[in-house]
Amino acid sequence: MPELPEVETVMRGLRERLEGRTIVRATAHRPDLRWPLPEGLQKRLTGALVTGFRRRGKYILMRLNGGDSVLLHLGMSGRMVLTPLRPNQPTPHEHLVLETDDGWRLGFVDPRRFGSVDLVPTRQEDAHKLLAELGPEPLDPAFSPARLSASLTGKRTTIKAALLDQKVVAGLGNIYVCEALFRARLSPQRSAHTIPGTRAARLVPAIKGTLLEAIAAGGSSLRDYVQPHGELGYFQHAWKVYSHEGEPCERCPGRPACPGIRRITQSARSTFYCPRTQR
Ligand SMILES: [Zn+2]
């Protein structure tokens, strides 16, 4: 499932290719994804000039000159595929297609259909029901140790669960929570109410550093953002603990110092951590 760094990379790719372009045709191939597509979507997209992009949490906002923003969420399996316009070949699971005035074609492909597309007035983006309750952006200076401490005070869940809560901080998912906790040397099983104070002062920079490194791995130009078949944003990135069960972590000089990265299940999802250095 795409998390903040992947969504940021997709957004940057869309910005490079679509900003300043006019959508000459919009075609929806079904009436719904996770939710029904908004009324009149094709009509409101066709002829619109794309004026800019923004990311909020795991959402992408594409702004149009008519005052609408298109709110996009990739869900579990959604992909944005950019290709030169060619004689129309139907692609499986491609639900929405945008064609631009300079001969490009953007397809939203989503086999499992957990993704979503909506329209929201640009001036009221943050009031949209999917964005209104989101917590701070982790890379924003407002996401500080004091802010995190305040939202974790008295919280009885584990720190792993707390960081997955999009109201505490927006955009993190299973992978980058594991990576950030490894970097901060904090156990994923620790209770969230023990984090405020010095541990939050360690955790906040660990979250920011983990995300910035992953975003950097996504590249810095359109050539990096687009995969060979036109898919945006799914880059190779070396995780330090995620999916490395049983291997020594980079902090421990091999066995027996490191008992090996451990995998446990928390809220039905895998957590990976080093039991020796994460306390
Ligand atoms: Zn270790």
Give me the chain's average pLDDT, please. Answer: 94
250 CA → ligand 1 middle, Å: 7
Lowest-confidence range among 48-57, 70-79, 247-256?
247-256
254 CA → ligand 1 middle, Å: 8
Q: Which helix (DSSP H) or strand (DSSP E) does residue 181 occupy?
A: helix 174-184
- Residue 211: the pLDDT is 97
Q: Which helix (DSSP H) or strand (DSSP E) does residue 154 occupy?
A: none
Residue 169's CB: how many other CB atoms inside 10 A?
26
> How far from 49 is each of 13, 99, 201, CA to CA, in Å?
17, 12, 44
- pLDDT tens digits for range 176-207: 999 999 999 999 999 999 999 999 999 999 99
5 CA → ligand 1 middle, Å: 25
- Residue 222: the pLDDT is 86
Secondary structure (3-state) at 12: helix
Q: Name residues with Cβ closer than 5 Å to ligand 1, which is an ion.
A: 249, 252, 258, 274, 276
271 CA → ligand 1 middle, Å: 14
278 CA → ligand 1 middle, Å: 8
**pLDDT(278) > 70:** yes
Q: Which positions are catalytic? A: 2-3, 58, 269
- pLDDT tens digits for range 228-274: 788 898 777 889 999 999 999 999 988 788 889 999 999 899 999 99
% of the chain residues with pLDDT over 90? 80
Q: Average pLDDT for residues 115-119, to the nearest whole number?
A: 95
- Residue 88: the pLDDT is 65
CA distance 161 to 181: 12
% of the chain residues with pLDDT over 70? 99
Q: Average pLDDT for residues 99-106, to the nearest whole number?
A: 95
Residue with the bigger pLDDT between 77 and 177: it is 177
